[in-house]
Amino acid sequence: MTGVYLLGFEEGLVPLKVKQEKQPQGLIQLNEEKNLFYVTLTRAKKGCYLLTTQHRWQKKVQASQFWQIIQGEPVQMLADPVLTRRAKVKQKQVEKSRQSSLF
- CB 15: neighbour CB atoms within 10 A? 19
The predicted-structure confidence for 75-91, as pLDDT tens digits, reads as follows 666 777 777 788 888 88
Mean pLDDT of all residues in 13-23: 65
The predicted-structure confidence for 38-67, as pLDDT tens digits, reads as follows 888 788 778 888 888 777 888 888 888 887
Mean pLDDT of the chain: 77
CB–CB of 44/4 below 8 Å?
yes
As a whole number of angstroms, the distance between CA 25 and CA 31 comes to: 10
58: helix, coil or strand? coil
Which CATH architecture does the domain made up of 4-78 adopt? 2-Layer Sandwich (3.30)
pLDDT at 73 over 80: no
Give the DSSP letter string of 67-93.
HHHHTTSS------HHHHHHHHHHHHH
Between 70 and 72, the more confident residue is: 70
Phi, psi of 64 (to 5 degrees): -60, 150
pLDDT number for residue 24: 60
Q: Where are the domains of the chain?
A: 4-78
Between 101 and 27, the more confident residue is: 101
Distance of CA 4 to the CA centre of its chain: 15
